[in-house]
Structure 1
């Protein structure tokens, strides 16, 4: 009798759980739906899914927001007004504004002037320690200066330590199965998100004070100065109907941009350190190029124009992004039945654009697992479709251009 009950419980568990898990735990099995066209059918994150591996399908999905909407399965941990969770035209307007405001040459030049003292101070501090955990230290440093750069908020060391731990938990939740019960990463992330929102009240209060001060300045002096940071830009941007963002929308997007931006910067910078340590000849060439510019500056600040002259440094950056982009994949959802080269992508299915697959495909890059910055020489031929993922990931990861300057 006991054995029958145990067997019944086991079968019931399988019946309930297996459809949810699907192939999640075994998705590496090469069960191709469209092997010749780079389409893989599976079941991930509690949803039937298509994994897009071919350049043509990746490009189609990324460039067709009308039929492939953004749909991270657990993005609600970032809040309802975040550009990560918004859909439709409003998402496009806010995302375009954020990306353009960050990537403007004058914004990047201002960022370089602000961040250099912080980086120098951090390097001096690390040099006095026998050992550091690079990713942990970089996350704290980048969180501090992204908060200052995007919002003008100066966080204390204690605040940075608390916020970084919270953001780390939220990051884990974004990449977890959407199971909201105790013990799961998603449940933990939601708890952290609500706690983060509670802790954020103090930060939000400071940001609101800054918002109010800037609005008073606008009313008294007029809008005479150009946008000084992301918060200021979001305060004054308007959609096609001329409507400005609400205070909550401004704050949500400033906070989520700080969150996503600092994480991507820290990740890309950490990987660059790893590759430079593994390939000493690359590090040597990098040092030689940077020594030359350092002598020219004679201890002065490096400018945006100076960095653009560092040809080999920029090739190292491109190769780092190719091999270890922090945005290895992005999520979309089909809003209609879509046929691709004879294969159907059903309406409502998730589509996972596997960017890193394109980066390491031997048909796109010779010896793809080797860190070789010289592959980006102007004389080398790289298939146009191979750079689709690189361009898309730069757009999808907030702050990636700033990360390149930090490296």
Structure 2
């Protein structure tokens, strides 16, 4: 073959490769829906197979996740909905309160659609994967154990015990890595709430396993050595084995009534919970519920508390106002009271605004995944049946039309502002899961931040 023919062959091969790179995802995901493809929202599906994941992961790696969605907005305009290929699924990304509401609140058209890796790691009977009716049943079963007033008051005592222990420990350590210690702190609280006395014995080993599990929750489902999903799957298996052992032991003690203490930790509440038909949760449901709340409470509360503390240190005038609120509560206590109470928690309106503002700025959960149950239209654009819809929380929380000067830490913005349902989404869901998470999770943040504020110097 002469040089000219070789050059032509190489050029032709490059053109074919270019066509494949540009059109393979279109051929696989858009062409099959025929003329409806012209009703899809603007956007692009990235590289073959991996789609837009490379640019998404790069943005997250360099702590700039907003740049991922910003690139769609800059290229296609502020439509509030864009097509992409995410986690192996043809998807739309929704970015405004209106489009988010349509995806999150319409259970007739959308259902949970989490990536396969997340479903496997969180459990197929966890709240994020089960059908709506089963979701409601489990919510009724678990609400008293998790958010009942007796439960919250009991958790507050646990939190205070751990806070006193941890603050004393930190004071003797000199310099500490604050986030690491906060994560250990919150993990200890959660384990104590879930497992009671068993928590101390298993806490150290479980913390390492849970960290590995959390890192794999939104990773690609690549079950090969060295990949985050494989490490997370191994970690889940170890966590499940520990939780199953505890559940088995508790059931045995209850059945035999031998030295069984009427404890009030969460695992007892979940085992004893009964719905209106007399049905109880099976072991798989209990374990997957525990895994879900570990995910909801450990990483998010640690990061939120850390950033709330950082923001307070960066804004002395806000810190002084928050500290004055705490000192006033302590001043009004009767001499016989030494502990924080639920009544006092309700008397912290400014701290509540500090935590809400910290959650808004942090937006620990980037997105939630839903799946279209049938062809659906949002803002005139088609979301085909089976496609995923990703609700992008940060775009909502940083929308200047809702939050003026959105990058500014300003707790006072909440003074006369009550956000609509999809204008403030601090968790991975709205409705049932968010309501259940919010009270118990926010109690942790309130208590921890309160102790830190009263312990910090001006």
Name the TM-score, length of structure 2 as normaliser: 0.76
C-alpha spacing 1:153/1:90, structure 2 compared with 1 (3 Å): farther
Count how many residue pairs are aligned between Structure 1 and Structure 2. 393
Question: Are 2:82 and 1:44 equivalent residues in the alignment?
Answer: no
Provide the rounded CA distance (Å) in 1 between the counterparts of 2:377 and 2:177.
47
Question: Are 2:409 and 1:371 equivalent residues in the alignment?
Answer: yes
Provide the rounded CA distance (Å) in 2 between the counterparts of 1:155 and 1:163.
9
Query: Structure 2 residue aligned with 1:213, among 253, 256, 261?
Result: 253
How far the C-alpha of 1:240 sits from its partner, in A, is: 6.4
For residues 4-403 of structure 1, the aligned pairs below 5 Å read: 18-26=47-55, 28=68, 29-30=71-72, 35-73=77-115, 74-75=117-118, 76-99=120-143, 101-156=145-200, 159-198=202-241, 200=242, 203-216=243-256, 228-239=264-275, 242-297=278-333, 300-377=338-415, 380-381=416-417, 384=420, 387-390=423-426, 392=430, 394-395=434-435, 397=437, 399-403=440-444
C-alpha spacing 1:282/1:97, structure 2 compared with 1 (3 Å): farther
Cα RMSD for the two superposed structures: 3.4
Provide the rounded CA distance (Å) in 1 between the counterparts of 2:107 and 2:367.
16
Provide the rounded CA distance (Å) in 2 between the counterparts of 1:153 and 1:336.
48
CA offset digits 1:173-205 (Å, max 9, x no partner): 11212233333222222233234445x2xx532
Moved more, 356-365 or 144-153: 144-153
Which 5+ residue runs of structure 2 have no aligned equivalent? 2-8, 26-45, 57-67, 450-458
Name the TM-score, length of structure 1 as normaliser: 0.84
C-alpha spacing 1:385/1:33, structure 2 compared with 1 (3 Å): farther
Provide the rounded CA distance (Å) in 1 between the counterparts of 2:145 and 2:82.
37
C-alpha spacing 1:128/1:229, structure 2 compared with 1 (3 Å): closer
Provide the rounded CA distance (Å) in 2 between the counterparts of 1:230 and 1:64.
31
Provide the rounded CA distance (Å) in 2 between the counterparts of 1:50 and 1:397.
26
- Would you say the 8 A contact 2:144–2:151 is kept in 1? no
Provide the rounded CA distance (Å) in 1 between the counterparts of 2:170 and 2:73.
48
Q: Which structure: larger Rg?
A: 2
Provide the rounded CA distance (Å) in 2 between the counterparts of 1:64 and 1:359.
21
